[in-house]
Chain A
Amino acid sequence: MNLVDAILQSVTQLPPFPAVIQRVLELVENPKTSAHDVVEVIQYDQAVTANVLMVCNSAYFGLRKPVHSLTDALVRIGFNTLVEIILTRGTAFLFYQSCQGYQLQKGELWRHSVACAILSQILAERVRHKKSAVQFTATLLHDVGKIVLSGFVKDHFEQIHGLVQEKNLSFLEAERETLGIDHAELGGRIAEGWKFPRNIIAGIRYHHTPFLAEEFQDLVSLAYLCDVVALMTGIGGGADGLSYRGYKDIMEQYDLKEKDLEAVISELDTGMKKVEGMLNIQ
C-alpha cells in the first residue's frame, strides 16, 4: 500500500461524526431553518443539551436567572450564539486531542479552531456586515485533516521540516511533497465521507488555497483569512508555525489593509473569554 492509501485508510479510525451535530450542520446551511428546528433536533440528546445549558449558565453570559431549557436558552442568548455553542461543544471530542506531528498538546488544536471560528464572526461583520453560522462552522472545522495527518507528519517530520527550511516551501506544500497529500485536502475528503454540506467541504479543502475553489469563493476566502490571522496570533500554534502563504489578492478582494487585521486581532480576546469556560471543559 502506498503512503496516500495508508493515510486515506486511517481516516476510518476516526470516531463517527455525531448524528445530532451532523443534522445541525444541515439545518444551519438551509436558509429556511428556524431556531425552533434546531431546538427540536437537539432536545432529545441529553448530553448535548446538558452541555449547552452548562455553557449558557457560565459566568460569561452573566444571566441573572439560570437557563433551564433549550427554548429558554434560545430566547435569552439568541439563535446565532446557541448554534455556536452547540457546534463548538459538539465537535470538541474531535479537536480536543493532542496532535503530536504538529507538536500540539491536548486542547491546543481546539483553541486554534475556536479562535478561527470567533475571528470568522468578527471578520464577517466587518466585510459583510452580518454574522454567518455557515461561515462559523466551516471555519471551526477547517483543520479536521490535521487530526488524521498528525501521525504521518510525526513520522516524516524531519523531511517536511527540511523542505520548509531549505526549499522555502510552505508547511502545506511540504506535506504534499512528502506524504502525497496535505491536511487541507485530507480534511476535504474526511468531510465528504461524513457527508457534510458542499460549502463546508469547500471551506475545509481550500482553506490554504482559496483561489482553487470553483464555488463558495467568499466562504473559502474568509476561512483562509481567519486561519492566517489566528496563526499570526500564535493561539494553538504548533510546529508548522506561520509557514503558510499570505495572499494579498484575498486582502484586496475584501479591501482590507494590514491595519484592519490589527483591529480584528484586538477584538479577539472578548470572544475568547466567552468560550474560555468551554475551553477548560473535558
Chain B
Amino acid sequence: MKITLKFFGQLRELTKCDETEIQVKENTKVEDLIWVLGERFPNIREHLKVVSFSIDNEYAGKGTVLHDGNVVGLLPPISGG
C-alpha cells in the first residue's frame, strides 16, 4: 500500500524533501515505519528518536496501524509561539 510522508523543519532540510510517497506492507505500524525511514534516510536516524508522527493531521502513537492513502507527518519537537 502507498502512504505519503511529509517532512518538516530540520527533517525537511536534512532529507531535502517536503513530501514523498512510499510503499509499505499491509499492517505496518508507526513503529515499523521508523525502521523503514532509518534505512531510507540514514542521516535522520538519530533524529527519529525524538520525532512525533501524525496520521491525517492527528498525532499518532507508535502502535497505530497505517492504512493505504494515509498522510504521515514527521514532526520534530515543536517550537511554536
Task: Determine if chain A interacts with chain B.
Answer: no
Chain A residues in the interface with B (C-beta under 8 A)? none
